[in-house]
Amino acid sequence: MILRLAGVSKRFGAVVVADKIDLDVARGEALGIIGANGAGKSSLFNLITGVVTPDAGTVSLGGRDVTKVSLRNRCVAGIGRSFQIPRPFESLTVFENLLVASEYGREHGHRGANELCGSILERTGLAAQANTLAGKLTLLNRKRLEMARALATQPDIVLLDEIAGGLTEAECHELVAFIRQLNQEGVTIVWIEHVVHALLSVVSRLVVLEFGRKIADGEPHAVMNDPEVRRSYLGIDDEVAA
């Protein structure tokens, strides 16, 4: 397993964002996570990356317990992450954003940082904006930059948080092809997404969260047909419909 969460719980006052979550992610897997707003999806990423410390449970990466490891060292250990609300370094250009990530991510002072960043910009459709200040990007390009910057750290596992929202159908198709290719290259993907058709065309496993609890975990189409998931996520009550 590249990532293992065992009994991870977190609450902020009365709000439970993670309730005894157990989750195993195999190396090379593409895992999707869905859930209504407030289900605890982004909080789960915060727990995995170390932005938030769990009240209980452990987070392991490649068999090593990283529950008390700093954000920085989790990045160095191989976790890359994009944010749902983009958080680029606004006073840096797009290219500089990637350079910071590539130089310090996995290998300090990476000699081929320029080439690596150039290639990621090409693949994420940001090459034309390389010298634009990140603070001046459109929302769509900010989302692209989030993903590009996460990839520039050369992660073993990349956590993508709602990157398809707001894309046109053609752009979404491109994104899906890109993520699928990344996964085929050996990068483990954990993807939170509301654009379910995009998600389902990439992932081989789907997890559903509700109020910080994992209510389903399995083959995507089976999960989508699960009555509890249909009730919780799609608002369809099969018993009433019958």
Cβ closer to other proteins: 136 or 221? 136
Q: CA 2, CA 17: separation in Å to the nearest integer? A: 23
Is residue 19 at the binding interface for other proteins, with CB under 8 A as the rule? no
**188: part of which helix (H) or strand (E)?**
strand 188-192
Q: Other C-beta atoms within 10 Å of 57: how many?
A: 17
Which one of residues 89, 140, 217, 224 is an interface residue with other proteins (CB under 8 A)? 89
Please report, as residue ranges, which positions from 46 to 85 form the binding site for other proteins (by CB under 8 A): 49, 51, 70-72, 75-76, 80-81, 83
Please report, as residue ranges, which positions from 153 to 192 form the binding site for other proteins (by CB under 8 A): 153
Residue span binding other proteins (CB under 8 A) among the ranges 26-34, 35-43, 91-99, 165-173: 91-99
Helices (H), the chain: 41-49, 71-77, 94-104, 113-123, 139-152, 169-184, 196-200, 220-224, 227-232, 238-241
69, exposed or middle or buried, with CB in 10 Å at 0-12, 13-18, 19+?
middle
Alpha-carbon separation of residue 16 from 4, 23, 148, 207 (angstroms) = 20, 17, 31, 18
Residue span binding other proteins (CB under 8 A) among the ranges 87-95, 164-172, 182-190, 218-226: 87-95
**Minimum distance from CB of 204 to other proteins (Å)?**
26
Please report, as residue ranges, which positions from 92 to 121 form the binding site for other proteins (by CB under 8 A): 92, 96-97, 99-101, 103-106, 108-109
**Minimum distance from CB of 90 to other proteins (Å)?**
6
The count of chain residues that interact with other proteins, using the rule CB under 8 A, is 30
Cβ closer to other proteins: 7 or 112? 112
Cβ closer to other proteins: 89 or 211? 89
Burial 185-203 (b: 16+ CB within 10 A, else e): eebbbbbbbbbbebbbebb
Cβ closer to other proteins: 10 or 74? 74
Q: CA 150, CA 158: separation in Å to the nearest integer? A: 7
Residue span binding other proteins (CB under 8 A) among the ranges 89-97, 191-199, 203-211, 216-224: 89-97
**Minimum distance from CB of 72 to other proteins (Å)?**
4
Residues paired with 59 in a beta bridge: 5
Closest to 163 (Cα-Cα) out of 193, 138, 189: 193
Alpha-carbon separation of residue 221 from 9, 196, 206 (angstroms) = 28, 11, 8
Contact residues for other proteins, defined by CB under 8 A: 49, 51, 70-72, 75-76, 80-81, 83, 87, 89-92, 96-97, 99-101, 103-106, 108-109, 135, 149, 152-153
